[in-house]
Amino acid sequence: MHNAALKPDLIVDTLDTAMASRDILNFTRDEGIAAAIVCTSSIEANRWALTLLRIRGCLGVLGIPPSPWYFDSAPIAFRELSIMGSYVCGAESAGRMLDVVAKWNIKSQLTILPFERIPDIVRTYEDSGFQGRIVVQLLDGVGNPVKEGDVETTLQPLNLSIRLEDAADYQPLLAAVHDCAEHRTFPRQNVRLPDLDKQDFGHAWVYRFLIEGETSSKTSNLNGKIVCIKDCIAVADVPQSFGSDAFPAWIPRIDATVVSRLLDAGANIGIVENPHAAGYSSGGSTSGGAALVAGGVVDIALGTDQGGSIRVPASLSGCVGFKPTHGLVSFTGISSGDPVDDHAGPIARSVDDVAACLDAVAGYDGIDDRSLGAGRPGSFDFQASLTRARLDGICVGVLEEGYTSEHVQSGVRNVFLQSVDRLRALGAHVESVSIPLHVEGPSIWTIQQRISGAAGILGHSSGRRGLYLTDFERARLPWTAPNVQKLFPSTQNTVVNGLYLQSRFPGLYGKAMNVGRQIRDAYETCFERFDVVVMPTTPFVAPRHGSRDSVLECLKPSIGMTLNTAVFNITGHPALSLPVGWSAAVDDKAVLLPVGLQVVGALWQDKKVLQVAKALESSFVWQDNKAD
């Protein structure tokens, strides 16, 4: 064969990128590619290598022709810019790269190059140190509108020009920059601020809009699903207010990674009252999303959880809410509180829809360093794993500290224990388990969240490799006294608490994080014996809205709500809230409100959490279960 001198371990000769990805993953035993040496001027080949394969390691050019050649680095380096540039590399730079590869005897790189160029560069690979590559053939991209003469036309309004002999070289560079600039693939339709008479459940909507996803997606179960997005997740061209009028709404220029992935999978995106009882809370802070899902207005809500903000509203509203393992879902394009407890995940009416959403959004995106260990997008098969109807062989721990506390409402405890009996009837081995450090979780989370939260609100966040929302910072900073006064009391409280703790207790944040690690380790030890641990999601059902007449009255109803949720933002464990019945409101026995059961698993054991929740969900109709 004409490329025999390459001596590759695997040759993938196809125009089907999905098949190429599959072959490579099979060849590498589903581990993917640790590093890549890219050798092509094909924009599509670069994009495939960097975005679809999700290469995690070093990247360089190798074996390029002696003439100047460009490498499009935009997908991993410049995503926050509207227009992104390219690196230019010549034969001298490639030679230096070859020297490095030879010196360290690097093998099994991914080498992407058009097959017709192979005869010209075979001699480059004749050294035995360059054996063991995967060679992939891809065609150049199609549909790029840049054409001959566009370089000159672009410069003409400024009365600028380049040498005629250079125009041909600038044309492919212009084509590359065009491809990078087209980051938003799906058009936004009918973006609008809803009139009060067209709101749902009080003020569930901030902005309404429609983005139609990829209808040709054949591998996703999200086709046609209606998804709403929390107001801290960037959707390009849709104003974002963070549920506050403290500063003018800003307009993101990019889609968050999770938004792009939902659209690729075929989804359509488009004071909150509890959907089951007016006057009662639907939780926070993904309250609007939970209410819209529970009320049947949308199929899925994509939210964030930094202390319980997916699981609490899901529990209070009667939905399934899942906070995945920390880092499983990229936080790129989402406003961060503290990267330590940043989680993004779905709320839906069924475990199946939650799993389908996770299949679409989970995995490392090449940007967010929270998700470096998350694995390759599209490789998880969460929904396909939901096959077991029984739980034989599964060990379930019932957390004593999670339901015996005096803070747990008796009706909530009764519904929870009924669900434990159902788990036992499904074949699970059920035992009580005690983790004393669990009760320290809320205090540790409060210290961490107040100190880091204040820093983030004031614009002092740093220390992460990822995409920074610089337009957002310009929109809200610097703070002024009138703007701060418009913030919700809990946000004002975070700023005050954080500044106080920092000034009075130097080193307290570090101490809290060290104790948090001890709590994580205690749970990991527990999971050596148990597959999952269960407890009530919230200690009581939805409370009435607090009065806005004073800060204390406003915040009082939610105090203690996150006793069982915030700790897992510190530890990072996957945790799911499943509706399991009803209990009476604390202040009115005639009002019945949903009760949630929380299923928690070991780090990266998200499938196991989903499987246990699915089996329990399928065993009864939760809406028929009334404890009081």
Contacts of 156 (CB under 8 A, 6+ apart): none
Q: Residues 420, 400: one domain?
A: yes
Last residue of a domain, one of 149, 181, 213: 181
Q: Residues 132, 30: one domain?
A: yes
pLDDT at 109: 38
pLDDT at 393: 97
Average pLDDT over residues 55-68: 37
Average pLDDT over residues 555-583: 93
Angstrom distance (rounded) from CA 503 to CA 152: 59
Q: Residues 72, 219: one domain?
A: no
pLDDT at 238: 72
Question: Which residue of the set 220, 285, 315, 350 is catalytic?
Answer: 285
Residue 336, pLDDT > 50, answer yes
Most confident of 161-170, 174-183, 348-357: 348-357
Q: Residues 148, 225: one domain?
A: no
Last residue of a domain, one of 181, 215, 246: 181
pTM of the predicted protein model: 0.67
Average pLDDT over residues 58-73: 36
- In the chain, the percentage of residues whose pLDDT exceeds 70 is 60
Model confidence band, residue 474 (pLDDT cutoffs 50, 70, 90): confident
Q: Is 285 one of the catalytic residues? A: yes
For residue 465, count other CB atoms closer than 10 A to its CB. 9
Query: Domain residues for 26?
Result: 4-181
Q: Residues 489, 342: one domain?
A: yes
Residue 447, pLDDT > 90, answer no
The candidate with the shortest Cα–Cα distance to 558, out of 575, 570, 545, is 545
Q: Residues 174, 302: one domain?
A: no
Total domain count for the chain? 2
Q: Residues 477, 494: one domain?
A: yes
Residue 493's SS3 state is helix
Q: Which residue has the tokens 């910072």?
A: 473
Residue 157, pLDDT > 80, answer no
Q: Residues 300, 357: one domain?
A: yes
Angstrom distance (rounded) from CA 543 to CA 591: 11
pLDDT at 189: 58
Whether residue 586 contacts residue 541, with contact meaning beta carbons closer than 8 Å, is answered with yes
For residue 506, count other CB atoms closer than 10 A to its CB. 9
Most confident of 108-117, 373-382, 439-448: 373-382
Most confident of 222-236, 242-256, 407-421, 481-495: 407-421
Residue 182, pLDDT > 60, answer no
Residue 265, pLDDT > 50, answer yes
Average pLDDT over residues 502-507: 76
Question: Which residue of the set 281, 282, 309, 452 is catalytic?
Answer: 309
Angstrom distance (rounded) from CA 61 to CA 112: 10
pLDDT at 115: 33
Average pLDDT over residues 256-264: 73
Angstrom distance (rounded) from CA 208 to CA 203: 12
Most confident of 120-134, 285-299, 337-351: 337-351
Q: Residues 163, 235: one domain?
A: no
- Torsion angle of the four alpha carbons 614, 615, 616, 620, in this order, in degrees rounded to the nearest 10: 100
**Higher-confidence position of 111 and 304:** 304
**Higher-confidence position of 174 and 135:** 174
The distance in angstroms from the start CA to the end CA of the chain is: 77
The candidate with the shortest Cα–Cα distance to 312, out of 12, 519, 595, 547, is 595
**Strand positions, DSSP E, 282-337:** 300-304, 320-323
Angstrom distance (rounded) from CA 496 to CA 499: 5
In this predicted model, what pLDDT tens digit does every residue of 572-605 receive, in sequence order? 999 999 999 999 999 899 999 999 999 999 999 9
Average pLDDT over residues 598-624: 98
**Higher-confidence position of 22 and 323:** 323
* Amino acid symbol at 564: N
Residue 44, pLDDT > 60, answer no
Whether residue 37 contacts residue 62, with contact meaning beta carbons closer than 8 Å, is answered with yes
In this predicted model, what pLDDT tens digit does every residue of 282-295 receive, in sequence order? 887 777 788 889 98
For residue 69, count other CB atoms closer than 10 A to its CB. 20
Average pLDDT over residues 160-177: 52
Question: Which residue of the set 225, 230, 607, 614 is catalytic?
Answer: 230
Residue 99, pLDDT > 90, answer no
Last residue of a domain, one of 181, 216, 249: 181
Q: Residues 155, 201: one domain?
A: no
In this predicted model, what pLDDT tens digit does every residue of 494-503 receive, in sequence order? 777 777 777 7
pLDDT at 427: 98
pLDDT at 601: 98
Average pLDDT over residues 109-138: 37
pLDDT at 585: 94
Model confidence band, residue 278 (pLDDT cutoffs 50, 70, 90): confident
Average pLDDT over residues 352-377: 92
pLDDT at 558: 81
Q: Is 147 one of the catalytic residues? A: no
pLDDT at 380: 92
Residue 588 pairs in a beta bridge with: 585
Angstrom distance (rounded) from CA 503 to CA 387: 53
Q: Residues 170, 311: one domain?
A: no
Helix ranges (H only) for 237-393 are 257-264, 287-294, 311-317, 351-361
Residue 137, pLDDT > 90, answer no
Average pLDDT over residues 133-144: 37
Angstrom distance (rounded) from CA 367 to CA 379: 18
Average pLDDT, the chain: 73
Residue 35's SS3 state is coil
Residue 410, pLDDT > 80, answer yes
Angstrom distance (rounded) from CA 466 to CA 323: 21
Average pLDDT over residues 161-175: 54
Tell me the CATH number at 578.
Answer: 3.90.1300.10
Q: How would you classify the pairing of strands 300-304 and 226-229?
A: parallel
Q: Residues 410, 316: one domain?
A: yes
Angstrom distance (rounded) from CA 618 to CA 601: 19
> C-alpha 271: how far from its chain's center?
26
Q: Is 230 one of the catalytic residues? A: yes
Residue 419, pLDDT > 90, answer yes
Model confidence band, residue 363 (pLDDT cutoffs 50, 70, 90): very high
